[in-house]
Amino acid sequence: MIDPLMTATRLASAGLEAQSLRMRVVSENLANVQSTGDVPGADPYSRKTVTFKAELDRAVGAASVKVRDIDIDKTPFRVEYDPSNPAADQNGNVKLPNVNALIEMADMREANRSYEANLQVIKQARAMVASVIDLLRT
């Protein structure tokens, strides 16, 4: 027999792991929002994205979340005219990362809230198990 509280805890743990990785990738994107190439005309940092997939967890008999892939965003780089920048090409243009800080912050907030929701599921399951143990003692 599958314990429903154990199932909830296991699924929430998978959600914690997935959202933790998502927050790490978003943090990396934000850290490199102004990173340019090492040599003139070189491509700068490329934004990374995380995609998830639903996968059957056979141990608990329920669908769980897993990270499918960490991809590189294919949107074009921003180009600014800054001839004094060491990464500027012969025309004075500098390629900047395709990272939008506003989008990354929204993504971080969403990942953080999902992480907190999964954490609450684990806390509630633990509290319910503790209540059952207390009831069995009396």
DSSP 26-51: HHHHHHTTT---SSTT---PPPEEEE
Mean pLDDT of the chain: 92
Q: At 1, list the tokens.
A: 């027999």
Question: What is the band of 6 on the pLDDT scale with cuts at 50, 70, 90?
Answer: confident
Contact between 78 and 100 under an 8 Å Cβ cutoff? The reply is: no
Q: In whole angstroms, what separates CA 70 from the centre of its chain? A: 9
Residue 62: its pLDDT value, please? 84
Range with lowest mean pLDDT among 4-8, 72-76, 128-132: 4-8
Indicate the residue type of 11: L
Quote the CA–CA distance of 101 and 25 in Å, as a whole number: 13
What per-residue confidence (pLDDT) applies to 38?
86
Specify the pLDDT at position 39. 87
